[in-house]
Structure 1
Amino acid sequence: MKAGIIGCGAIAKFLHAPEYQANPCIDTIVFYDRNPERAAMLADLFDGNTVSTVEELLTDPAVNMISDCSSNENHHIFTTKALQHGKHVLCEKPIAVTVEQANEMIAAQKASGKKLMVNHNQRFFRAHQQAKKILERHELGKVLTFRTTFGHAGPEHWGTNKTSSTWFFKKDRSGLGVAGDLGVHKLDLLHYLLDDEVEQVSAFTDTLDKTDENGQPIGVCDNAVASLKTRKGRLGTASFSWTYYGEKDDSTVIYCEHGAIKIYHHPDYQIQVLTADQETINYELQEGQTDQQADSGVIDAFIDCIRLDKMPPVTGEEALTAVKAVFAILEAAETERVVTLT
């Protein structure tokens, strides 16, 4: 099969392209970027080809699937067009920056009969999959409360554009700031782990430190802190930050009737289960994920759902549910009110 990638930034370089190249079902990768030099660089790196327009990519009958790695504001444009051209699509998160745009994408998927998957890759982390098994077996009783956080020094330290002019800082392109960049990952993860959904939100957001290329505060939040209540009555907190200078934190704790599960808290153990009778069970899992995200399993899962005609492990509808929780956090912070999701 032949895969196409729209947008040749860091996520394409570190996740999509290497995993397509490693999958035996993929013969060729075709790259498009509005900056032709970036597309050519990845084509050289991954032994692929380039096209000069999106239309050339989408009208190629040999291209079976598309990874939409464009910036947030373009997801609904490129993903919708790709589906309408009969391509299966793996879209980067967040699925879109408005509910209307996400619904447009989901409608295009249904009309096309093709697969639409969204890259909420934290579902594929081995520790998260193991934690879900523990919860499903009710080893610690029912879930009561939780807390989760995801923060690092900011996208300008990771992305292709390692300057304060990065698109992540632009309101018209990012739209949702750190809540849409990091927060949506953890909100989707909570839905996955708990088999539940966020129902009510109160929150604070702010731009505490990040400035743009002109030295002015960026147009989106660089920090968000939220209190959450789920539909099944669980209570928890979530914090997301682009200003964790000194140490990344990508951890979750789930408190149950008979103990707690700590995920990515310990430097040596990806999971620690602490029981109510003071027993500690350590899980040292062989992790494939790195800071550069290679070997995530996302591309293999996407290709398998196409090849075997299976439901994608993260559907457009599930991705919309997660981003609705992001919208609720931003609304709650702006209005200083509790927001209930419908």
Structure 2
Amino acid sequence: MSKIRVAVFGCGAIAQRRHIPEYASNPNVELVAFADPNKQRAEEVAAEYGGKAYENYEDILKNEKLDAVSVCTPNYLHAPMTIAAANAGLHVLVEKPMAVTAEEGEQMIEAAAKNNVYLMVGHNQRLMPPHVKAKEILESGRLGRVLTFRTSFGHPGPEGWSLDGRDSWFFRKDEALMGAMGDLGVHKSDFIRYLLNDEVVEVAGFIGTIHKEDTDVDDNATCIVRMKSGAIGTLMASWTHYKGGDNGTVLWCENGVVKIGTGQGDEVIVELTNGTVETYKVGAMATNEKQVPSGVIDDFVQSIITKTPPTISGEEGLRSLKVILGAFESQDTGSIVKL
């Protein structure tokens, strides 16, 4: 079988730490080209992994023979780049949030459908071993219905993660459009939908810029959500967890509680009302400090090889995005938003 020819648009932190090395270690992939407005960055990556460096993604689409692309750029570019690649007949893996408006998300889904290509969104939380295990436990039915929950994602902010530090696009409203909510909150709305196999029907958002200076993107959000099943919970995103970052979820169910990533971070703890306690150590969660393979790239490649639509589809990405957009609307209007 000939290898899947891939180009990467954007050579920042997520591309360098996840997408590019994970494509490189996949035997079915050939990395063909890299685009970044900072051409030196694209050149450094091309020197390390092979392939050609470009300043402009449109030149890649014109000049290279490809099968698929990863879009790893600032949020405002996700839609135009995805649509251009889909229109060129290429499968697309786009970073989250898939878009900055619901309309953009819909246009991306349409472009992929029209061109008969796959669109996948990089919601890696679904693939982390503790999260997969927790879903399996919930689906076994032993715990009964999920009644209430809290899920949160917090770290010290993009300064330490982005290659540009404090000068990163993450802090520029015109490029990011949303801060901690687009970076972390959308992961959590996607995760809770996946975990509970349920949809958010109402959201109230308290979103603000509490501590980061010289930026007008949000650095904190706490949202209250009601699920279709009736379960209610909180969803939190923060860029100011300067100590004690968090990617934990707790679910209170009819027959006990499930705690994910609250202890050692790699554990699922089940405490049943009958007094039994079970601990599952199932493999690490990826953190900014400790990159473990996300599974997203391999999943995307597998989809293309087996001609199977990705489970983390554009439609899924859009539903998760709408929760976040609803939270912003709630913050703006001071009312609860129905989705």
Fold in common (TM above 0.5):
yes
Tell me if structure 1 keeps the 8 A contact 2:11–2:34.
yes
2:44 aligned partner: 41
1:204 paired residue among 206, 223, 248 = 206
Q: Deviations over 1:61-85 (max 9, x none)?
A: 5311100001100011100000000
1:282 aligned partner: 279
Distance 1:228 1:24, change over 3 A: same
CA distance in structure 2 between the partners assigned to 1:104 and 1:284 by the alignment: 41
CA distance in structure 2 between the partners assigned to 1:288 and 1:151 by the alignment: 14
Tell me if structure 2 keeps the 8 A contact 1:14–1:294.
no
2:268 paired residue among 252, 258, 271 = 271
2:134 paired residue among 113, 131, 134 = 131
Where do 5+ consecutive residues of structure 2 fail to align? none
- Structure 2: which amino acid aligns with 1:200? E
Tell me if structure 1 keeps the 8 A contact 2:130–2:283.
no
Q: TM-score if structure 1 supplies the norm length? A: 0.95
Tell me if structure 1 keeps the 8 A contact 2:8–2:15.
yes
Q: Deviations over 1:173-227 (max 9, x none)?
A: 1112111110000000000000001111112111111013xxxxx1111100111
State the 1:53 CA deviation.
2.7
2:73 aligned partner: 70
- Structure 2: which amino acid aligns with 1:40? E
State the 1:97 CA deviation.
0.4
> Equivalent residue of 2:248, what SS?
strand
1:215 aligned partner: none
Determine whether 1:191 maps to 2:193: yes
- Structure 1: which amino acid aligns with 2:329? E
> Equivalent residue of 2:29, what SS?
coil
CA distance in structure 1 between the partners assigned to 2:24 and 2:226 by the alignment: 42
State the 1:290 CA deviation.
4.6
> Equivalent residue of 1:172, what SS?
helix
CA distance in structure 1 between the partners assigned to 2:198 and 2:146 by the alignment: 11
State the 1:232 CA deviation.
1.3
- Structure 2: which amino acid aligns with 1:316? G
2:252 paired residue among 251, 255, 266 = 255
Could you list the structure 1 runs, at least 4 aligned residues long, displaced by more than 3 angstroms after superposition.
Answer: none
1:178 paired residue among 177, 180, 183 = 180
Taking the TM superposition and a 5 Å limit, the aligned residue runs for 1:47-66 are 47-60=50-63, 62-66=65-69
Q: Deviations over 1:293-327 (max 9, x none)?
A: 34111111000101101010201011000010001
> Equivalent residue of 1:299, what SS?
helix
Distance 1:242 1:269, change over 3 A: closer
Q: TM-score if structure 2 supplies the norm length? A: 0.96
1:302 paired residue among 296, 300, 303 = 300
Q: Deviations over 1:122-150 (max 9, x none)?
A: 00100101111111111111111110010
CA distance in structure 2 between the partners assigned to 1:60 and 1:22 by the alignment: 25
State the 1:28 CA deviation.
2.7
1:14 aligned partner: 17
2:120 aligned partner: 117
CA distance in structure 2 between the partners assigned to 1:98 and 1:285 by the alignment: 36
1:154 paired residue among 154, 157, 161 = 157
Question: How many equivalent pairs are there?
Answer: 335
CA distance in structure 1 between the partners assigned to 2:285 and 2:324 by the alignment: 28
CA distance in structure 2 between the partners assigned to 1:206 and 1:53 by the alignment: 34
2:311 aligned partner: 313
Tell me if structure 2 keeps the 8 A contact 1:268–1:284.
no
> Equivalent residue of 1:173, what SS?
helix
1:95 aligned partner: 98
Distance 1:105 1:268, change over 3 A: closer
> Equivalent residue of 2:165, what SS?
coil
1:334 aligned partner: 332
Where do 5+ consecutive residues of structure 1 fail to align? 213-217
> Equivalent residue of 1:247, what SS?
coil
